[in-house]
């Protein structure tokens, strides 16, 4: 599975951005996708995850009500709509996919896209 993110950039506090993650390869084996982020000097943290089967989602408390994950299955693309952005949302955002093949789980990561929110 290959993942390519796009859509990052510089935005003022209170603004919006939409990130995209295009998946290719063995996408039929994907059981979960999500977004993580890593700010300078901090550990990578989960932003949101979505299960392929039932579409259930789990958001980090810090982004609930502001960020929304969605998918276009026909395009094998996942989106993250980020509204009401705050300076603390500044980070490199990574797309992540989990596949299951023969009961083996494997994680895949995109290259990351920078999101910078100015105050």
- Report how far residue 92's alpha carbon sits from residue 8's, in angstroms, rounded to the nearest whole number: 9
pLDDT digits (tens, 9 = 90+) for 35-57: 999 999 999 999 999 998 888 99
Q: How confident is the model at residue 73 (pLDDT cuts 50, 70, 90)?
A: confident
Angstrom CA distances, 41 to 37, 75, 91, 112, stand at 12, 35, 10, 16
pLDDT for residue 31 is more than 90:
yes
Paired with 111 in beta bridges are: none
> What's the average model confidence in pLDDT over 9-18?
98
Other Cβ atoms less than 10 A from the Cβ of 104: the count is: 7
């Amino acid at each position: 599975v290959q993942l390519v993110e796009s859509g990052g950039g510089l935005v003022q506090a209170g603004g919006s951005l939409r990130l995209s993650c295009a998946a290719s390869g063995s996408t039929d084996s994907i059981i979960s996708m999500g977004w993580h982020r890593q700010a300078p000097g901090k550990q990578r943290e989960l932003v949101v995850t979505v299960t392929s089967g039932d579409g259930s989602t789990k958001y980090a408390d810090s982004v609930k009500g502001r960020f929304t994950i969605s998918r276009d299955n026909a395009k094998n693309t996942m989106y993250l709509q980020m509204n009401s952005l705050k300076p603390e949302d500044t980070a490199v955002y990574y797309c992540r996919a989990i596949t299951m093949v023969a009961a083996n789980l494997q994680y895949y990561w995109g290259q990351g896209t920078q999101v910078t929110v100015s105050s």
